[in-house]
Amino acid sequence: MRFCPFASRSLLVLLAKEIPHEVVNINLASKPEWYLGKSPSGKVPLLENDGVLLPESMVISEYLDETCSGRKLLPQDPYKKALDKVFLESFVFSPIFKVYFNKEQYAEGFDAFWSNAAVVEDELKKRGMKFLGGS
Protein backbone atom coordinates (compact mmCIF):
# COMPACT_ATOMS: atom_id res chain seq x y z
CA MET A 1 0.00 0.00 0.00
CA ARG A 2 1.51 3.34 -1.04
CA PHE A 3 -1.11 5.43 0.73
CA CYS A 4 -1.61 5.64 4.46
CA PRO A 5 -3.92 8.42 5.70
CA PHE A 6 -2.06 8.61 9.00
CA ALA A 7 1.36 9.00 7.39
CA SER A 8 -0.12 11.49 4.92
CA ARG A 9 -1.25 13.73 7.77
CA SER A 10 2.34 14.10 9.03
CA LEU A 11 3.70 14.45 5.51
CA LEU A 12 1.32 17.34 4.82
CA VAL A 13 2.62 19.14 7.93
CA LEU A 14 6.23 18.61 6.82
CA LEU A 15 5.39 20.05 3.40
CA ALA A 16 3.31 22.97 4.71
CA LYS A 17 6.08 24.03 7.08
CA GLU A 18 8.78 23.36 4.45
CA ILE A 19 10.69 21.02 6.78
CA PRO A 20 13.42 19.01 5.05
CA HIS A 21 12.68 15.31 5.49
CA GLU A 22 13.18 11.82 4.15
CA VAL A 23 10.29 9.40 3.63
CA VAL A 24 10.94 5.70 4.13
CA ASN A 25 8.03 3.58 2.90
CA ILE A 26 7.42 0.21 4.49
CA ASN A 27 5.05 -2.64 3.75
CA LEU A 28 2.19 -2.09 6.20
CA ALA A 29 1.06 -5.71 5.93
CA SER A 30 4.53 -7.08 6.70
CA LYS A 31 6.52 -4.53 8.67
CA PRO A 32 10.29 -5.07 8.66
CA GLU A 33 12.07 -6.07 11.86
CA TRP A 34 14.19 -2.90 11.85
CA TYR A 35 10.99 -0.84 11.94
CA LEU A 36 9.46 -2.86 14.77
CA GLY A 37 12.74 -2.37 16.63
CA LYS A 38 12.16 1.39 16.48
CA SER A 39 8.39 1.27 16.89
CA PRO A 40 7.35 -1.82 18.90
CA SER A 41 3.66 -0.97 18.39
CA GLY A 42 4.28 -1.00 14.63
CA LYS A 43 2.21 2.15 14.20
CA VAL A 44 2.89 4.50 11.33
CA PRO A 45 4.08 7.10 10.90
CA LEU A 46 7.15 7.34 13.07
CA LEU A 47 9.20 10.52 13.31
CA GLU A 48 12.91 9.98 13.89
CA ASN A 49 14.94 13.12 14.52
CA ASP A 50 18.29 13.41 16.31
CA GLY A 51 17.76 10.07 18.05
CA VAL A 52 14.24 10.96 19.18
CA LEU A 53 11.47 8.59 18.08
CA LEU A 54 7.88 9.78 18.09
CA PRO A 55 4.86 7.76 16.81
CA GLU A 56 1.23 8.80 16.11
CA SER A 57 0.39 11.23 13.31
CA MET A 58 -1.55 13.73 15.42
CA VAL A 59 1.22 13.84 18.03
CA ILE A 60 3.89 14.21 15.34
CA SER A 61 1.93 16.97 13.60
CA GLU A 62 1.51 18.99 16.78
CA TYR A 63 5.15 18.41 17.78
CA LEU A 64 6.37 19.67 14.40
CA ASP A 65 4.09 22.70 14.58
CA GLU A 66 5.36 23.62 18.03
CA THR A 67 9.07 22.93 17.51
CA CYS A 68 9.73 24.00 13.92
CA SER A 69 9.78 27.51 12.54
CA GLY A 70 7.43 28.73 9.86
CA ARG A 71 3.76 29.50 9.88
CA LYS A 72 1.75 27.98 12.68
CA LEU A 73 -0.82 25.39 11.63
CA LEU A 74 -2.72 25.33 14.92
CA PRO A 75 -3.98 28.25 17.01
CA GLN A 76 -1.66 29.28 19.83
CA ASP A 77 -4.55 29.76 22.26
CA PRO A 78 -5.04 26.37 24.01
CA TYR A 79 -8.84 26.62 24.05
CA LYS A 80 -9.07 27.50 20.34
CA LYS A 81 -6.60 24.72 19.55
CA ALA A 82 -8.73 22.21 21.47
CA LEU A 83 -11.91 23.38 19.70
CA ASP A 84 -10.28 23.02 16.29
CA LYS A 85 -9.17 19.47 17.14
CA VAL A 86 -12.69 18.49 18.23
CA PHE A 87 -14.16 20.17 15.18
CA LEU A 88 -11.81 18.40 12.75
CA GLU A 89 -12.24 15.01 14.40
CA SER A 90 -16.03 15.26 14.44
CA PHE A 91 -16.69 16.79 11.05
CA VAL A 92 -13.76 15.76 8.86
CA PHE A 93 -11.71 12.78 10.03
CA SER A 94 -14.47 10.51 11.35
CA PRO A 95 -16.60 10.64 8.16
CA ILE A 96 -13.68 10.19 5.77
CA PHE A 97 -12.29 7.24 7.76
CA LYS A 98 -15.70 5.56 7.47
CA VAL A 99 -15.30 5.78 3.70
CA TYR A 100 -11.71 4.56 3.76
CA PHE A 101 -12.13 1.64 6.13
CA ASN A 102 -15.69 0.46 5.34
CA LYS A 103 -16.41 0.00 1.67
CA GLU A 104 -19.99 -1.10 2.41
CA GLN A 105 -20.73 2.42 3.70
CA TYR A 106 -18.89 4.18 0.88
CA ALA A 107 -21.81 6.25 -0.47
CA GLU A 108 -23.16 7.00 3.00
CA GLY A 109 -19.71 8.05 4.21
CA PHE A 110 -19.16 10.42 1.31
CA ASP A 111 -22.61 11.94 1.79
CA ALA A 112 -21.75 12.58 5.45
CA PHE A 113 -18.37 14.02 4.48
CA TRP A 114 -19.87 16.51 2.02
CA SER A 115 -22.64 17.46 4.45
CA ASN A 116 -19.99 18.11 7.05
CA ALA A 117 -17.96 20.15 4.56
CA ALA A 118 -20.84 22.64 4.60
CA VAL A 119 -20.60 22.79 8.41
CA VAL A 120 -16.87 23.50 8.12
CA GLU A 121 -17.50 26.24 5.55
CA ASP A 122 -20.12 27.85 7.80
CA GLU A 123 -17.71 27.81 10.75
CA LEU A 124 -14.98 29.43 8.66
CA LYS A 125 -17.39 32.16 7.55
CA LYS A 126 -18.32 32.84 11.19
CA ARG A 127 -14.64 33.19 12.02
CA GLY A 128 -13.92 35.32 8.97
CA MET A 129 -11.18 32.89 7.93
CA LYS A 130 -10.30 30.79 4.90
CA PHE A 131 -8.67 28.00 6.92
CA LEU A 132 -8.84 26.45 10.37
CA GLY A 133 -5.71 26.75 12.42
CA GLY A 134 -3.12 29.27 13.36
CA SER A 135 -2.31 30.99 10.06
What pLDDT is stored for residue 2 in this prediction?
A: 64
Q: Which amino acid is at 45?
A: P
17 and 52 fall within a common domain:
yes
Our CA angle for 105, 106, 107, nearest 5°, is 100
Residue 87: CB atoms within 10 Å: 15
Average pLDDT over every residue of 31-38: 96
> What pLDDT is stored for residue 20 in this prediction?
95
Structural domain contains residue 18:
yes
Q: Judge whether residue 92 has pLDDT over 80.
A: no
Domain interval for residue 9:
5-67
Same domain, 57 and 86: no
Is 9 in the same domain as 61?
A: yes
In a domain, 118, yes or no: yes
Same domain, 47 and 24: yes
Catalytic residues: 4
Boundary-marking domain end, from 20, 36, 67: 67
pLDDT band at 124 (very low <50, low <70, confident <90, very high): confident
pLDDT over threshold 70, residue 135: no
pLDDT of residue 1: 47
- Whole-number pLDDT of residue 4: 81
* Segment 5-15, tens digit of pLDDT: 788 889 999 99
Classify burial at 2, counting beta carbons within 10 Å of its beta carbon; exposed 0-12, middle 13-18, buried 19 or more.
exposed
